[in-house]
Chain A
């Protein structure tokens, strides 16, 4: 018997589990697989697709408190995030477009309005083409003076190399020295000196990102940034791994490769979940349940010809995917709160943070009331 059972291993589920555990609850996290965080950029968007001033959450007090709590957590987990809700930051992506985001990891530096910028690509990484990034960024930032440089990782690969593969290659010292040497040569050849920023794909190491970023900055004498693009981005993988490791070390119990098939309800309280791990069906029970199954995109809700169907608890949902009669001890978070919760129906990372924070505050209030009663 757990105090809290969380369903889902995306950003929402991991944060909810960590925060519930930090308050001393015995927490289980059940998920059939990883969440969208692995396909993400690692950036925390206010509302996806938002422009510079569109962040609807910036004004909410709870959102500010939640984002601060999140930043403290990430700092403790060794992968710090920066940025402020009321000041979205311009980030260059792997396709050269500028995207506005709320919070970004330490490997990422916002793109300036003017000055010299170098785009550095690796020949082996087909998802990131320096020349193409340069052209697109130039359209968005006409005052920038942009040059493109392409170097080789010099690694043979039997599969198509991704940004994550490049990041793992760069964990090796000789690979870094080789890349830095080529960069210096190319920059001398093209007469580039003292750029303000060098833009790499999201590939600056996985575990050793901190020393790798420093090494690049010192030897190239410029700030460097990652430009996340086609997944898998190292920026996202680090984010996921930091949260997961943090949760496990705190003592959250993971039930992986485990699908929730339904629940047993008595007097409007969920008593247990029916869970299936590959070939065996068993049960898990808790006092409270946090549902972070990602809504339609995450697989928690399915679009059928007969309307939306809840694929987690098997309870009735309305046309927006919200539980019509939500049991008292069930707390939907993130996209599990339905399609109405954000303007375009798509929840971004910031909504995950806010709703996990709020669900936890509610859980905590309930626990306190129970104690007094």
Chain B
């Protein structure tokens, strides 16, 4: 046995209706995965009543959360699978590769320091062949590039002095791979007269949870909760541009930590578009946008959908004159964080992604808008379409209005 106690008790409400299985992107492309019903509530029920079972098929679960969205009985299926993953890794140990992949923050720090070299190496066939052989990272898979001028090098403001104050949880992707997203966000806030502070923060833990490194993930979660509460207790709102980090702060920290503090923090957490939509509804949003004649397609990341906030990116971008945007209604992207970087998962990952591409291509859009960097990576792998973050577009629309 191991010492990871799963606090989730909702498994008893499962009616075995299969709605979660039907909606699981992984179950839908491979018969090798046991599926959410079996590896979630059924496994937990068995373990509660009999003895501990370690089922290696759990490795296929990506923690995308589609099972939670499907379940009509409010079973928190992905919390159950997250703990099943954790006990499986706890017992079997993690592969060296998974330790690396789950440490997005360390990889980001190192890779961005040696950015030009690291990016170049990741594009060299011989290097990738060795990585595939030694580490099981598929040679065909494109990796996001790292930036030397990462956001930590360029932005160090730790306080805000405006009426509304934002504490920005940047996340590893916008910090190391896409500082332009982070800069656009600060810009957009500036146009609304809101100062942005960047609190001390650690990786949100999502890559650790999805690699079964629950203990390490919970440690980060606790640190982040403590750091961010110091801000929310002074009237800051915590705002994020990465939908997976947002999901972690709103949902996973509360489910996994089961602490008062995690609950308190979750009340103050907003997705960036959700925040702007709220400003709009309160009559506070600067709607002085320049004209943009664009037909864009929106791709909703799974971790955006499971926040239960509608589709705020469409609501906010829809305010830009001339800007036409419609939802592709596509399923999961298949990259699923670190999942698509693994050799034994690569085929499944691509099979999931193909369905996304079909839906996205049906929109006939000029480019694709999405919040998630990993979905963007999958899109890069499978289509030629350009991909932008909503904050980049909003920032551009504000600038256009200035330059008119």
Specify the chain A residue showing the minimal Cβ separation from B359. Answer: A245
Distance between A368 CB and nearest chain B CB, rounded to angstroms? 26
Specify the chain A residue showing the minimal Cβ separation from B312. Answer: A253
Given contacts A162-B18, A280-B266, contact A253 B35 (CB under 8 A): no
A159 touches B329 (CB 8 A): no
A257 located at the interface, meaning its Cβ lies under 8 Å from any Cβ of chain B in the complex? yes
> In the complex the two chains form, what is the Cα distance from A142 to B255 in whole Å?
58
> In the complex the two chains form, what is the Cα distance from A32 to B307 in whole Å?
12
Contact segment of A107-115, A271-279, A322-330: A271-279
> In the complex the two chains form, what is the Cα distance from A161 to B18 in whole Å?
12
> In the complex the two chains form, what is the Cα distance from A278 to B250 in whole Å?
9
- Which residues of chain B are within 8 angstroms of A168 by Cβ–Cβ distance? 28-29
B17 touches A38 (CB 8 A): yes
Specify the chain B residue showing the minimal Cβ separation from A258. Answer: B308
Specify the chain A residue showing the minimal Cβ separation from B305. Answer: A256
> In the complex the two chains form, what is the Cα distance from A4 to B355 in whole Å?
31
Distance between A40 CB and nearest chain B CB, rounded to angstroms? 11
B107 located at the interface, meaning its Cβ lies under 8 Å from any Cβ of chain A in the complex? no
- Which residues of chain B are within 8 angstroms of A257 by Cβ–Cβ distance? 65, 68-69, 71, 306, 308
Residues 173-219 of A at the B interface (beta carbon under 8 Å): 207
Distance between B39 CB and nearest chain A CB, rounded to angstroms? 9
B17 touches A39 (CB 8 A): yes
B113 located at the interface, meaning its Cβ lies under 8 Å from any Cβ of chain A in the complex? no
B12 located at the interface, meaning its Cβ lies under 8 Å from any Cβ of chain A in the complex? no
B72 touches A278 (CB 8 A): no
B117 located at the interface, meaning its Cβ lies under 8 Å from any Cβ of chain A in the complex? no
- Which residues of chain B are within 8 angstroms of A39 by Cβ–Cβ distance? 17-19
A275 touches B19 (CB 8 A): no
A32 touches B72 (CB 8 A): yes
Residues 316-331 of B, flagged 1 when their CB comes within 8 A of A and 0 if not, give 0000000000111100
B34 touches A158 (CB 8 A): yes
Distance between B344 CB and nearest chain A CB, rounded to angstroms? 14
> In the complex the two chains form, what is the Cα distance from A68 to B22 in whole Å?
29
- Which residues of chain A are within 8 angstroms of B254 by Cβ–Cβ distance? 278-279
A249 touches B327 (CB 8 A): yes
> In the complex the two chains form, what is the Cα distance from A157 to B35 in whole Å?
12
Given contacts A33-B19, A248-B327, contact A278 B28 (CB under 8 A): no
Choice from A35, A232, A275, A279 contacting B72 with Cβ under 8 Å: A35
- Which residues of chain A are within 8 angstroms of B286 by Cβ–Cβ distance? none
- Which residues of chain B are within 8 angstroms of A161 by Cβ–Cβ distance? 31
B70 touches A34 (CB 8 A): yes
Chain A interface (Cβ within 8 Å of chain B)? 1, 28, 32-35, 38-39, 155-159, 161-162, 164-165, 168-169, 207, 231-232, 237, 244-245, 248-249, 251, 253-259, 275, 277-280, 298-299
The 6 closest A-B CB pairs, nearest first, are A277-B308, A33-B72, A253-B310, A248-B329, A258-B308, A157-B31
